[in-house]
Amino acid sequence: MKILVLNAGSSSQKSCLYYIPDDARSQHISTELWSASIDWTKQEGMANLKVESNGLVVEETQATNDQLAVMKRCFETLCEGDTAVLETLAEVDFVGHRIVHGGRTYQQPTWITEDVKRTIEQLIPLAPNHNPANLEGIKLMEKLLPETPQVAVFDTAFHSKIPTTSAIYPLPYQWYEQGICRYGFHGISHQYCAEKTAKLLNQDLANLKLVTCHLGNGASLAAIKNGHSIDTTMGFTPLEGLMMGTRCGSIDPGIVIHLLREKDLTLDQVDVMLNKESGLKGLSGISADMRSITTEMENNDRAKLAFETYIHHLCRQIGAMVASLEGLDAIVFTAGVGENSAIVRQETCQRLGYLGVDLDVEKNKNSPKNEDIASNNSQVRVLVIHTDEDSAIAQTVSQIA
């Protein structure tokens, strides 16, 4: 079967086409035939499209903010030009979507229906950077492939069984009954990386205590014990937790009350400030991109402040995850920053020396991928894993198809 996967993030979109033999579904065997990514972060009002297939890499830049138009162009490359791997889009058997927020309603992969779409839409206020893009992707596929079944795979699902003490907020109990609780996000990535870690270490996942660090424009940690998420940094929405590219992470809620009461800001203005104008971007005044921050921080005090604050918040919350686990066997770095920023890994591990973390500096510098970069003397393993949410989604779709 051929499965097209759509993975919409807060600042980018990735799509992949996989072939999975019908007789190999249970063996987690898949072949990536085509992949494409769209990045809106490099320049305001510009979309960078990169397509890889048939041994070729083709890149285009479009001056537009029309995300649907860029997505449509992206899928045209499946059947047109040198990147074509299909005669027509109708050859796609299933479409799988990463959906960020499923609330309490959806905790398993689900065939997409009108009810599912309504729920995704109703949850937009809780994932304003993601659920709208997820929903638009579903609607676009309905236009391009009206007869093709679609499956929603929810980022919140992996965290759906965290203990009540981790999920509940110290608020009036009836709010918890109404669904105000910690949901957690990046679950597809956290689960994939946990399973990959166990394979790389040649150990049973059920015997490991892991902190997985998904560090991209959006960022979260997960405490994984016995193969299950028992705590995580993101909460009711993807705004809580770590300092991120444009999101503030955890702050005193009294700040929001102060801004509304004393600064005469509207709810929408505060929402934009916390989700789109904070984090690395807000502190540095330069960029939400860690690459730009680390390039500029030697000569720019605010860039340096943004970097050091990022590391401080990251290390503090890793400590909180270790407390939930009551120990630590391995720490895992993944996603755009986690996989590609050697200095973030180095500074983080250096500050975690009290836990027995000891980094092999040379391994860390050499663009590690799916590799243990801890020194031989380290009491805690340190892994860099290339997260593959898309492959995980395709495998999930194949299991229920």
State the binding site. Answer: 7, 14, 98, 214-218, 289-291, 336-340, 389
| Alpha-carbon distances, residue 121 vs 103, 178, 235, 360, 397 (angstroms) | 11, 18, 19, 46, 22
Binding-site positions for substrate: 98
Q: In the structure encoding, which two tokens stand for residue 396, read together?
A: 């999930």
Q: In the structure encoding, which two tokens stand for residue 182, read together?
A: 């910690």
For 257, list phi and psi in degrees, rounded to 5.
Answer: -60, -45
Gap between the terminal Cα atoms of the chain: 10
- At 141, which amino acid appears? M
Q: Which of 22, 23, 39, 155 is catalytic?
A: 155
- Is 155 a known active-site residue? yes
**Cα 77 from chain centroid?**
25
3-state secondary structure labels for all residues of 317-354: HHHHHHHHHCCCCEEEEEHHHHHHCHHHHHHHHHHCHH
* Strand spans (E) along 93-203: 94-99, 110-111, 150-154
Q: How many residues does the chain have?
A: 401
Distance CA 257, CA 167 (A): 24
- At 194, which amino acid appears? A
**Do the beta carbons of residue 233 and residue 313 sit within 8 Å?**
no
For 15, list phi and psi in degrees, rounded to 5.
Answer: -135, 145
Catalytic residues: 155
